Amino acid sequence: MFFDVLIVGYIACAGFVAAGVLGSLYQLITKQPPRFNFGGESLMEFLAGLFLCVFAGPFIIMRNAIRGRRIENRPLGWLVASSTIAGMWSMCSGIMVINVALLVVKIS
């Protein structure tokens, strides 16, 4: 039981790290923070925005939640709810990240 909880925590951390790296890379390239925005003139821009939102979603949620708590004085429950959503999302994307990592190791 305890081992299962550790595995889930590790997977969630892997997902959140991947979200942070992708969000920071986007901010480094575009000089603006990532947002939930699918706008784009071409299909490739739309797909890139969709990919960014799917995998950097927990990073975007937590950045907005922390800024909302510090700047707009939102209630603590708002931060807790946002953290829960980001944690579950990180766990889902972490499963994908771990599966891709295992696939790469298996191939090489």
Confidence (pTM): 0.87
Place of tokens 């575009």: 30
Residue-level pLDDT at 17: 96
- Give how many domains the chain has, as a whole number: 1
Give 56-88 pLDDT, tens digit per residue: 999 999 999 999 999 999 999 999 999 999 999
Centroid of chain to Cα 79: 16
Give 38-59 pLDDT, tens digit per residue: 777 888 888 888 889 999 999 9
Residue numbers of the domain that contains 38: 2-107
What is the mean pLDDT of the segment spanning 13-42? 90
State yes or no: pLDDT of 37 exceeds 90. no
Residue-level pLDDT at 88: 96
Q: What is d(CA 6, CA 10) in angstroms, rounded to the nearest whole number?
A: 6
